[in-house]
Amino acid sequence: MEIIRNVGRHKLRSFLTISGIVIGVLALTTMGALAENFNALIDGGVKYFGGSIQVGPPDGQAANLLPMSKIDEIKKVGGVEAAFPGYQFAAKPGGAIVVSFGIPDTIVAGDPDENNYSALKVTYAQGRPASASSHGEVALGSTIAHEFNKKVGDTIDLPVRPADAKPDFVNHSFTVVGVLNETKTAPDSFAYINIADGQMLLRDSLPASLQSSIDVTQITEGISVYGKPGSSLSNLDKIADRINSQVTGVKATKPSDLVNGFKSGGAIFTAITTAAALLALIIGGLSVVNTMFMSVAERVREIGLKKAVGATTFNVMGEFLLEATLIGLIGGLIGYGLGVLIVVARNTLFAPADGSTLFLITPALTIFAIGFATVLGAVAGVLPAWRAARLDPVIALRNE
């Protein structure tokens, strides 16, 4: 009867222990998926800014604009292969401020040829890019296309008119000519238009008193500069230094400064989320240690009988290690499964209006979550298993 009661208590403790592992792995999966999604955004920034030089107005300049003539000056700098003007506008200006881990919807105006030089290339699930000679064409990133339920051939008004729009608010109707493949990074939230339409939106953004006096075709918000194919980050830094020394009235930012900033932010965020999840998982591991020690204490007679009939130290230790490992594995599988369900539900059933995703499940996260729980269970079972293996069968049977 006592043996039956011990078995019942052991099963109950094992269940509670597995539950502890489940909670830990659930936390690790959800927090890890949050970090993976954030890091995907970071990786996109690293890839793009690590392959180009961003040129803008010098520090202290009141107007955030550059003469278009600076592009020709920059192209004469040694090592420069290509330079393109660019404009960016909020796709949804005004309205309520929403906290989001994603990239806000943005209208990006540029030359379609720039994609041939960019390290972060975009491809199309449908259609094509807006042509340089067209008017009123737009290619939508996957997220913004999903948000507004648009496909090739549809029209969309950009910028989107906010509910509190002022009387002088202006937007324009664009025909969707392409929808990008998902990249898990910034382009998913971009609406790509050509330079001419970008200059049109720039004119709209100017005060009414200046719209007729400023030739927007002669100014740009920024210039993206590319070196020869295969240029290293250090070579691009040197090109940035040469631009700053040879071209007046501009500031070229070293790509390494931007890349290091992205990597630093990603490392901090990952460390915070992972530490929180691992703490929960380690607490679950301690419960495995407790359960296994209690199991050894309650099964002293059973262990003694096994050793008395020939079970070796290795046999006994292996049995308890296997039990601890299975507890970790079962808890890991259940916790990971629940975590995936939560992630999928958030990203699909309860996705925000902008269509962005907050979590990203990757193979690396899957292996880490389940593998860590399994290894944790095995490690947590080492001391209890060693204690069981060291029991003297004669003393064990005598005490019972």
User: How does pLDDT run across 85-105, given as a tens digit for each residue?
Assistant: 999 999 998 755 454 556 789
CA–CA gap between residue 63 and residue 277 (Å, rounded): 46
Mean pLDDT to the nearest integer, 352-372: 78
**Which range scores top for mean pLDDT: 41-45, 202-206, 245-249, 370-374?**
245-249
CB environment 261-280: b (16+ within 10 A), e (fewer): ebbeebeebbeebeeebbeb
**Separation between Cα atoms, residue 306 and residue 326, nearest integer Å:** 21
Is residue 395 pLDDT above 70, yes or no? no
The confidence score (pLDDT) of residue 99 equals 46
More confident: 398 or 286: 286
pLDDT band at 209 (very low <50, low <70, confident <90, very high): confident
At 284-343, the pLDDT tens digits run 667 677 766 676 666 666 666 666 666 777 777 788 788 888 888 988 899 899 999 988
Can you give the pLDDT at residue 114? Answer: 94
Residue 46's pLDDT is: 85
* Strand, helix or coil for residue 66: strand
The beta strands (E) that lie in 213-348 are given as 219-220, 222-227, 251-253
Task: Decide if 353 contacts 306 (C-beta within 8 A).
Answer: no
What average pLDDT does the segment 74-82 reach?
96
Q: Residue ranges of the domains in the chain?
A: 2-43+262-399, 52-230
Average pLDDT of span 105-134: 94
pLDDT score at 385 = 74
Q: Which range has highest mean pLDDT (34-43, 55-64, 238-247)?
A: 238-247
Q: 64 and 57 in contact (C-beta within 8 Å)?
A: yes
Whole-number pLDDT of residue 172: 96
Classify residue 109 by burial, with Cβ atoms within 10 Å: 0-12, 13-18, 19+: buried
- Per-chain mean pLDDT for the chain: 83
Cβ-count burial of 172 within 10 angstroms (0-12 exposed, 13-18 middle, 19+ buried)? middle
Taking residues 119-140, report their average pLDDT: 94
AA identity, residue 259? V
Task: For the chain, give percent helix, strand, coil, nearest 5.
Answer: 55, 15, 30
381/188: higher pLDDT: 188
192 contact partners, CB below 8 Å, separation of at least 6: 108, 109, 110, 129, 130, 138, 139, 140, 141, 178
Between 29 and 78, the higher pLDDT residue: 78
Q: Tell me the C-alpha distance between 59 and 73, whole Å.
A: 19
Owner of token pair 């932010």: 265
Are 305 and 394 spatial neighbours (Cβ–Cβ below 8 Å)?
no
pLDDT, tens digit (0-9, with 9 covering 90-100), for 161-196: 988 888 889 999 999 999 999 988 889 999 999 999
